[in-house]
Amino acid sequence: MAEVGRAALILALGVAVYGIGASLYGARSGRADIVASGRRAAYALALLSVVAFVILEAAFLRSDLSFAVVAGHSSTTTPTFYQATAVWSSQEGSLLLWLTLLSLWSALVLFLTRRQLRDVAPYATAVLLGLGAFFAGLLIFLESPFDVLASPPVEGAGLNPLLRSPSMMTHPPMLYSGYTLFAIPFAFAVGALIVRRVDAEWIRATRRFALAAWLFLGIGVLLGARWSYAELGWGGYWAWDPVENASLMPWLIGTAFIHSIMIQEKRGMLKVWNASLILATGVLCLLGTFLVRSGILDSIHAFGASTLGGPFLVLIGAMTLGSVALVVSRRDTLRSEHRLDALLSRESIFLLNNLVLVALCFVVFWGTFFPLIAEAVTGQRAALGPPWFDRYTVPLALLLVLLSGVGPLIAWRRATAANARRSFAIPAAVAVLAAVALAAAGAGSALLALGMFVAGAFVAGTVFQELWRGTGARRAMTGEAPHLAVVRLIGRNRRRYGGYLVHLGMAVLFVGVAASSSFQDATDVRLAPGEQAEVGEYTVRYTEPTARLVATREAGLEFIELGARLDVWRDGEALGAMTPTRGYYPSQDLAGLGAIGRFFEGESVSEIALDAGAGRDLWLAVQPDIGALEPVIREGDAVFAQAAGGLSPQFEAVALAQTLRGLVDRYASEAPPAQFRLLTSPMITWIWVGALVVFAGGLICLWPAPDAARRRATAGLAVRVARDLGRVRART
């Protein structure tokens, strides 16, 4: 099967190269059939990538250890769910996933636009196939997923326990979907620039892909944040880590893009700006993909220096230079058709929003690459920490939320000042009320947080007012019942109300961020059983240790779990017990480690005890002290080392299990003090809830309008337009 997979990849590279040639030749010579052949090469690429991916996934699922990748990242005892996700925990598998997703979206968009954009599509095809060829080339020549081991090992290395999380199933595929979906508008922008067809057609054709990309990338980033908060032992969801930033930057520019394309669609303005934005987004997507596997910046995620750095940098360089060259050489055709009519218009607000987003991206970019910049300028590497990032991003984010509340209140093209003032009244009143109430409640201590709350209230006021007024307007025309009117209103104006919902979700999200950062209470304390500590309004007592061996029927002994049972009180009221634990997974490296000590030299993974609530989260983590166990461990190691070879495997396994059980019982009975991290974060759940609202709003925006309704609507309007013309049209 590995041979078939390898053949599929080689075929993929071949068909991609053919497709590039066919598309370009067909475009230059006007041969639509050759162009069609090139387009079908994209379909073939999708087919071949899926075949290769399925082969690899199947190998993981049946633990085919003859595959080097499977042996290195999975094992027969890994649970099925994690066997499936182990595919993209490997370099090779993740590149193959990238290629598969890219080729699938490419095939989809080329199929959907097969009758449109006749001059642009071939060049877009060439760009997409070019990217596909790049990844296929990497997979064939540098990081092959189908390398076969001459003598397959008895057992695989297993998945890194840190990656054993449901988030592993969703976070990477979502991120990659986001990155690869942004390649679609990128490719069409390049094509549009090449043939100088820079009107809004390429935008209209790829709008949904840009929106889907934005949605998936955003959700991917948030999934990473949630993973970080709920699973990893430091209690935070964002650290301004270079790799986190690398996925945020294309999202920021992508947000600017999906707003400013609306201006080009309506007024034919901002052509240079839009082209530049999407070209930058595409480059940043590849930069993000590259950064996580390059090791050029110090980061938690910067996994191993690899041989991929060179080719990626060449690609990114080529994309950047090519983009700049295209925009500069086409700047005459990119001239605006119109000018900004009025400062008081939605176009203006969108422009401001764009500026804020670009500024945010610049801040993040500068901070992320500062070590390299400093080295270039002063010869000395220097790093910027979260405080510097926060200083600039927080006010900018505040401004952004505020703008998202102002925008919907102002009409397109030109707004009537008096009407705008009237529209501001209610949302402003809501905001002022919120400000007063919160300040009275003591939120004034963190001014920026209070500002964000007020901005969020303003946005909420705007969205509800818009729904109210829209429903009223619709009912005035159709006389429908209120609930029906709301649903139909949203259904007939998906982009508008989906967008408003997204804004509401983002406001909720940022309010959660503001509250949880400004009003968090953290306590790091070392407690012996019976002792207690305070965090926020809670009192936490370390009642007793917990210790157990975790085994499964197939795997046998999986890991040792040591934890603590903590009893929690608030205002004298007992809230029950929470049990944070720590899992000690044995190291796979058998050389030099004792049979018992192996368990404490592998990975140790925190299991957080989390009590999530609408008002606040209580987050508890434990770091058991195994120092007291060390003499016992050493003794056990010595005994097993002596007896090695003289025992049958079954006897050894039984003896090992018994020793470990003894060890674990000893921990429970001796009950040494342990290190605890206790956190209480207000309103952190609002972040995840806000994300869900954003997702729902995004789906509404993406939803295609049902054909029948659209045709009816346009038929009616067409007649009205025709009446203006002075004649009735027989057909529509």
Partner 1 sequence: MDVVTLVAIMALLGAVAWLVVAPLRAGSAARDEERYEGARADLEAAKEAKYAEIRDAELDHATGKLSDADWRAVDRQLRAEAVEILQRLDELGVP
Partner 2 sequence: MDPSRKRKIRLGVALSAAVLLAAALVYTSFSASSEARTPSELDTAQAGVSYQLTGKVVEGSVQRTQDGLDFEVRDRDGAQAVPISYQGVVPDPFREGREVIVTVQRQGDGFMGERDSLITKCPSKFTTDEQPS
Q: Which of residues 598-637 bind partner 1 (CB under 8 A)?
A: none
Residue 233 touches which of partner 1, partner 2, none (Cβ within 5-8 Å per kind): partner 2
Residue 61 Cβ vs partner 1, minimum distance, rounded to whole Å:
19
Sign of CA dihedral 105, 107, 112, 115: positive
* Binding flags for partner 1, 234-263, as an x/- string (CB under 8 A): ------------------------------
Per the CB < 8 A criterion, the answer to whether 583 and 546 are in contact is: no
Report how far residue 698's alpha carbon sits from residue 692's, in angstroms, rounded to the nearest whole number: 10
Contact with partner 2 (CB under 8 A) among 89, 368, 465, 659: 89
Minimum CB distance to partner 2, residue 300 (Å): 5
Residues 85, 74: Cα–Cα separation, whole Å: 10
Beta bridge partners of 534: 539
Q: Which position among 17, 21, 25, 37 is part of the footprint of partner 1 (CB under 8 A)?
A: 37
Binding mask 575-614 for partner 2 (x = CB under 8 A): -------------xxxx---------x-xxxx--------
**Binding letters toward partner 2, positions 478-517, x by CB under 8 A:** ----------------------------------------
Q: By C-alpha distance, which of 499, 301, 514 is closest to 407?
A: 499
Residue 141 binding partner per list partner 2, partner 1, none, with a CB distance cut-off of 5 to 8 Å that depends on partner kind: none
Give the CB-side neighbour count of residue 322, counting CA atoms within 13 A: 17
11 binds partner 1 (CB under 8 A): yes
Q: What is the 3-state secondary structure (H, E, C) of 706-720?
A: CHHHHHHHHHHHHHH
Map the footprint of partner 2 across residues 43-82, applying CB under 8 A. 68, 71-72, 75
Which residues 222-261 are close enough to bind partner 2 by CB under 8 A?
Answer: 232-235, 241
From residue 694 to residue 713, the character string flagging contacts with partner 1 as x (rule: CB under 8 A) and all else as - is ----------------x--x
Q: How far is the CB of 482 from partner 2 (least distance, A)?
A: 43
Both structure tokens of 718: 């067409």
**Which does residue 266 touch among partner 2, partner 1, none (CB within 5 to 8 A, set by kind)?**
partner 1
In the complex, least distance from residue 381 CB atom to partner 1, rounded to whole angstroms: 49
**Contact partner, 117, from partner 2, partner 1, none, Cβ < 5-8 Å per class:** partner 1
Instruction: Please check whether residue 705 is in contact with residue 494, taking contact to mean a CB–CB distance below 8 angstroms.
Output: yes
| Per-residue exposure over 584-607, b if at least 16 CB sit within 10 Å of its own CB, e if not | bbbbeeeeebbbbbbbbbbbbbbb
Tokens 């925990």: give the residue.
Answer: 89
Which of the stretches 347-355, 358-366, 379-387, 406-414 binds partner 1 when contact is defined by CB under 8 A?
406-414
Residues 6 or more apart in contact with residue 672 via CB below 8 angstroms = 528, 545, 624, 625, 627, 628
What binding mask, one character per residue, do residues 329-368 give for partner 2 by CB under 8 A, x or -?
A: ----------xx--x-----------x---x--xx--xx-
Among 131, 200, 363, 578, binds partner 1 (CB under 8 A): 200
Q: What is the 3-state secondary structure (H, E, C) of 245-283?
A: HHHHHHHHHHHHHHHHHHHHHHHCCCHHHHHHHHHHHHH
Site residues (CB under 8 A) for partner 2, limited to 152-191: 153-157, 160, 162-163
As a whole number of angstroms, the distance between CA 361 and CA 594 comes to: 50
Q: Work out what residue 304 binds among partner 2, partner 1, none; the CB cut-off runs from 5 to 8 Å by kind.
A: partner 2
Q: At its nearest, how many Å lie between partner 1 and the CB of residue 203?
A: 10
Closest separation between CB of residue 269 and partner 2, Å? 12
Q: Note the maximum CA span of the chain.
A: 103
11 makes contact, choosing from partner 1, partner 2, none, with CB < 5 to 8 Å by partner type, with: partner 1
Evaluate whether 269 touches 338 at the Cβ level (below 8 Å): yes
- Alpha carbon 123 to chain centroid distance? 29
Site string for partner 2, 127-156 (x = CB under 8 A): ----------------x---------xxxx
Answer with the entry of partner 1, partner 2, none that 570 interacts with (C-beta below 5 to 8 A by kind).
none
Q: What is the dihedral of CA 580, 586, 587, 593, to 10 degrees?
A: 120
Measured CA to CA in angstroms, residue 563 lies from 17, 581, 623 at distances of 56, 4, 8
Task: Tell me the sheet residues that pair with 10.
Answer: none
- CB closer to partner 2, 372 vs 433: 372
CA within 13 Å, CB half, 250: 37
By CB under 8 A, how many residues form the interface with partner 1? Answer: 66
Q: Which does 601 bind (CB under 5 to 8 A by kind): partner 1, partner 2, none?
A: partner 2
Residues 265-324 that bind partner 1 (CB under 8 A): 265-266
Those residues with Cβ within 8 angstroms of residue 470's Cβ, 6 or more apart along the chain or in another chain: 489, 493, 497
DSSP string, 469-504: HHHHHHHHHH---HHHHHHHHHHHTHHHHHHHHHHH
Nearest of 72, 87, 88 to residue 156 by alpha carbon: 72
Footprint of partner 1 on this chain (CB under 8 A)?
1, 3-4, 7-8, 11, 15, 18-19, 22, 31-34, 36-37, 40-41, 43-44, 47-48, 51, 115-118, 200-201, 204-205, 265-266, 409-416, 418-420, 422-423, 466, 469-470, 473-474, 476-477, 492-493, 495-496, 710, 713-714, 717-718, 721-722, 724-725
